[in-house]
A and B are shown apart, each in its own frame.
Chain A
């Protein structure tokens, strides 16, 4: 059954339900391929032995009413998993084994899925290339020495490389959509408050959202329907009527109005990105929907705003990693010395940079000029979207201003790295849902993605638009298995 790993989640579920495949067959296939794919460095921790046990157990008494019956799945190592080491890609949590499960992963296991292992990511999800991980950079299945994007780089690589049928990532400023775009897969960042943050190692609390990453839109819809739930353990979780996103998925988007924001035509954007966008507009029209030029005037302020708000929250969220209660502890002469050594040795350079930025913008004397102003701009950015949504049902933009770059290419230029998030961060700042779908290739044959941004809680609509476009685009990911000897 060599083609098992090529199957979509939907196909696998169907085959297991029809008893054409057992959970053991499927689990074994993904484990085998994962074991051959060490060079991608996607896994931080694997749980293959117990995954096989669970698959066998499932097959003995299969519950085929579940949405993910016996489906193996690896998840980003930012989700706390009970009794399985959870590192957030950091040395400071290198020895941390939670006694609890995140709500989102709990939802997944409750629907019958089986944990394969924990996927590499940028340290504390801070990065756009998966190069900040303590456990080394992740290779893209697209090409050797190409970054898979970040921070959910291990997740993107694992889905594109067929090491897991689907996965979940987290998205604070683009960490699902950018790597999805770089690796030719689908990634959804849900509305803030749709998926519980309980048990997810926090980066920036007001922006973090978990979301699905998959080979296609239908798989993405199915996984989203599993993970999205109201959770009283997260005070920012929102109670609203959640759809059966996969069941209600339709490619009929006739008459929908799709906004094209002129501010996303940024300086220095490669022509192939502009061309891709124009192609996207054509696809929209081919589907019977209408495009309308709109303006989101404060877009240019989104990136600086994001790089104040996110580090500010991160500087406080990461204060708990102090060597006192769990995780890495360096020896020190006294308490302060222990703190300094633990955090200097335990955190990598990018995390330290953001802690410093965050500490600075919250300091007395700077708070008003930076943090408070950023909060006001954030409100303006949200107002831009509110205004636009009076005229349109969704917004179409490129996912990233370029295709994937080489490992090491931007590591010494943090600002150019941050610019990668230019199209994705406004969505997090406004708390909206956004989906990236693969839409073409650049001249090097690297995938390029388009982003559809929706109204709050309107995931069904952007999934439908993505589904309709997916059919027209008919994207084929060029995976050569270059890493398999």
Chain B
């Protein structure tokens, strides 16, 4: 597929439009306590049970930075190949809302903790680099609940003060598919680093999506609209699709696009205006006088750098070189850290005489199918990497056939049993004794003389019949390769 074919363009009559997308991803920092208080951050707790006096902005309460969250942000910055700023400043973003107890959000405006970086996406037509503009730390707000009472709004402050990393991309994305790949890549990197669990259902990862369109080939950016707070990749893609088409339609009608903030209605699958540029809040940003500028030393950063695990890009490279995997296979294995961990553990347990390709096929085939049907993550796999490795080795050394292996796999799923024992207990060991198989085949040919003659006369299809009979007679345990060889000889 050439690069041209895969371009995402919006076509109207004679005109083609390119879509330009930039994302502001809000990733919840994986941390037991909040950014400026010691309250817990557990998801799903009873409303207002994880709220300190600081989070509820009581008079005289002061924020104290959580060092762990700072480390998490720096690690993420390193994972994004970004510049770490030794000096950053917390600012107040002032606005009134019922779920914003302080009347301002503590964020980083002019001097973020992480500067420019980049991530690499693996697209079907090759690699694509996406620039990172910045990453900054900020507090989350609480939650307003409007649908519990016809008259009143309820406020849950459990989220109030939870640490978020806002990761701002450059406007480098050009299609919903690239957005999909970008979000997945960010999530993958952060999960490798342990800095964000990436759980979109629980709101740990959400994004504001900036969309503009321009005639294909144009170098100038069009007027952008920001779609606020989209919380799934599917919705992001739908919102972009809708919004890009809406903008193109306006241009085609000779109208102009207003720079505005829009909301995505997931039920109607459309974006609609929330507020225009003129109505935009004046947040009156200024440095938070309760907090000194955040200064980190080179040593502090270096120590974190030394702590960074092998990240997906490096792991992929190593898998290709070390295990002779294809880029496609390596991608599947590294995109999720738990899959990579499982795979590497299987490889380690398989010992010296191992068949890595076979292991990969079984992981991406049988194992993924089982996980899928049971709705499990690989970290919850019903078969341990150790037993999985034993199973692969049993196939590799000819103890059981691939077909029997599937039976064994079914049996070991329930209770993570040792495949070796199952094979012995159930007598599933493959028959690879040529003499025994020859006797077995002689008998089958004898019993089916007429068919044997027909075969010899040219009805080659009957070969399959004999194989089937032989397998049946052996209870499926006969070594299929040997059966083939012996049958060819005898017939």
Q: Which of B53-61, B317-325, B457-465 contacts A (4 or more CB under 8 A)?
A: B53-61
The contact of A320 among B101, B155, B284, B292, by CB within 8 Å, is B101
* A324/B63 in contact, CB under 8 A: no
Q: A102 to B60, alpha carbons, bound, how many Å? A: 8
Check if B64 is an interface residue, CB within 8 A of chain A: yes
**Shortest beta-carbon distance, A151 to chain B, in Å?**
16
Check if B62 sits within 8 Å of A197, measured CB to CB.
Answer: yes
Out of A100, A234, A322, A367, name the residue touching B96 (CB < 8 Å).
A322
- Is the CB of A241 closer than 8 A to any CB of chain B? no
Is B101 in contact with A362, judged by CB distance below 8 angstroms? no
B47 at the interface (CB under 8 A from A): no
> Is B335 among interface residues, defined by CB-CB distance under 8 A?
no
Question: Measured between C-beta atoms, what is the minimum distance from B288 to chain A in Å?
Answer: 8
Query: Judging by beta carbons under 8 Å apart, are B59 and A362 in contact?
Result: no
Assembled-state Cα–Cα distance A93/B58 (Å): 11
Give A312 to B155 CA distance when docked, in angstroms. Answer: 28
CA distance A171 to B64 in the complex (A): 23
Task: Check B286–A199 contact: CB distance below 8 A.
Answer: no
Q: Contact check, B62 vs A233: say whether CB atoms are below 8 A apart.
A: yes
Report the count of interface residues on B (CB-CB < 8 A).
29
A residues 316-340 near B (Cβ < 8 Å) are 316, 318-320, 322, 324-326, 335, 339
Known: A99-B53, A235-B292, A362-B286. A201 touches B60 (CB 8 A): yes
Using Cβ atoms and an 8 Å threshold, which residues of chain B touch A367? Answer: 284-286
Q: Taking the complex as formed, is B41 at the interface, i.e. its CB lies under 8 A from any CB of chain A?
A: no
Does A414 have its Cβ within 8 Å of any Cβ on chain B? no
Docked Cα-Cα span, A98 to B61, in Å, equals: 11
Q: Within 8 Å of chain A (Cβ to Cβ): is B102?
A: yes
Given known pairs A88-B59, A319-B94, A363-B282, the reply for A335 and B153 (CB within 8 Å) is: yes
Q: Tell me if A43 is interfacial: C-beta within 8 Å of chain B.
A: no
Whether B298 is near chain A, meaning CB under 8 Å from some CB there, is: no
Contact (Cβ within 8 A) B96 A235? no
With both beta carbons as reference points, the residue of chain A lying nearest to B153 in the complex is identified as A335
Contacts of B92 in A (CB 8 A): 316
Contact A235 B291 (CB under 8 A): yes
Interface string of B20-40 (1 = CB under 8 A from A): 000000000000000000000
Contact partner of A93 (CB less than 8 A), chosen from B59, B155, B282, is B59
Q: Which residues of B contact A319 (CB under 8 A)?
A: 94, 96, 102-104
Within 8 Å by CB of A235, from B56, B58, B101, B290, lies: B290
Which of A30-38, A202-210, A216-224, A295-303 has 4 or more CB atoms under 8 Å from chain B?
Answer: A202-210
Bound Cα distance from A315 to B96, whole angstroms: 12
C-alpha spacing A201/B291, complex, angstroms: 16
- Chain B residues, CB < 8 A from A100: 53, 58
Contact size class for A? 35 or more
Chain B residues with CB under 8 Å of A371's CB are 286
Cβ A316 vs Cβ B103 within 8 A: yes
- Bound state CA distance, A202 and B196, in angstroms? 34
CB distance from A115 to the nearest CB of B (A): 16
Contact B284 A316 (CB under 8 A): yes
Q: Is A364 an interface residue (CB 8 A)?
A: yes
Contact B59 A86 (CB under 8 A): yes
Q: Which residues of B are found within 8 Å of A42, using beta-carbon distances?
A: none
The 0/1 profile, CB within 8 Å of A marked 1, for residues 248-291 of chain B is 00000000000000000000000000000000001011100111
- Whether A359 is near chain B, meaning CB under 8 Å from some CB there, is yes
Which residue among A96, A99, A316 has the maximum number of chain B CB atoms within 10 Å of its CB?
Answer: A316
Chain A residues with CB under 8 Å of B467's CB are: none
A347 at interface by CB-CB < 8 Å: no
Q: A100-B53, A316-B103, A319-B102 are in contact. Are A235 and B284 (CB under 8 A)?
A: no
- Complex Cα distance, B94 from A320, in Å, reads 11
Is A198 positioned at the interface, with any CB of B under 8 Å from its CB? yes
B65 at the interface (CB under 8 A from A): yes
**Distance, CA A206 to CA B57, complexed state (A):** 18
A-facing mask of B127-161, CB < 8 A → 1, else 0? 00000000000000000000000000101000000
Does A408 lie at the interface of the complex (its beta carbon under 8 Å from any beta carbon of B)?
Answer: no
Q: Is B311 an interface residue (CB 8 A)?
A: no
Please give, as numbers and ranges, the residues of chain B lying within 8 Å of A335 by CB-CB distance: 98, 153
Known A316-B286, A363-B282: A199·B104 in contact at CB below 8 Å: no
Q: Is the CB of B102 within 8 A of A364?
A: no
Chain A: minimal CB distance from B415 (Å): 51
Q: Which parts of A92-133 form the interface with B (CB within 8 Å)? A: 93, 96, 98-100, 102
Interchain CB contact under 8 A, B103 and A322: yes
Give residues of chain B (53-81) contacting chain A, Cβ–Cβ below 8 Å.
53, 56-65
Chain A, residue nearest B283 (CB): A364
Rounded to whole Å, the gap between the CB of A85 and the closest CB of chain B is: 12
Within 8 A of A (CB), among B90-106: 92, 94, 96, 98, 101-104
Is B104 touching A316 in the complex (CB atoms < 8 A)?
yes
- Minimum C-beta distance from B280 to chain A (A): 10
Beta-carbon contact of A98 and B58 below 8 Å: yes
Is B58 a contact partner of A326 (Cβ separation < 8 A)?
Answer: yes
CB-based nearest A residue for B65: A235
| Complex Cα spacing A353 to B94, Å | 18
Give the contacting residue for B59; candidates A312, A320, A359, A363; CB below 8 A.
Answer: A320
Compute how far the CA of A233 lies from the CA of B63 in the bound complex, rounded to whole angstroms.
8
Contact B59 A80 (CB under 8 A): yes
The contact of B57 among A98, A102, A320, by CB within 8 Å, is: A320
Task: Answer whether A198 and B60 are a contact pair too, CB < 8 Å, given A235-B292, A362-B94.
Answer: yes
CA distance A73 to B273 in the complex (A): 59
Q: Which residues of B contact A233 (CB under 8 A)?
A: 62, 64
B284 near A325: Cβ-Cβ < 8 Å: no
A93 to B104, CA, bound (A): 19
A134 to B418: give the CA distance in the assembly, Å.
79
Report the separation of the CA atoms of residues A234 and B490 in the bound assembly, to the nearest whole angstrom.
91
A313 to B102: give the CA distance in the assembly, Å.
Answer: 13
Q: List 7 A-B contacts (CB under 8 A).
A: A86-B59, A98-B60, A205-B289, A235-B64, A320-B101, A325-B101, A362-B285
Ranked nearest first, the 9 interchain pairs of A and B with the lowest CB-CB distance are A319-B103, A205-B289, A362-B284, A206-B289, A199-B60, A320-B57, A201-B59, A80-B60, A200-B60
Which B residues contact A (CB, under 8 angstroms)? 53, 56-65, 92, 94, 96, 98, 101-104, 153, 155, 282, 284-286, 289-292
Given contacts A201-B60, A202-B59, 8 further A-B contacts (CB under 8 A): A80-B59, A96-B59, A198-B60, A205-B289, A233-B62, A313-B289, A325-B58, A367-B285
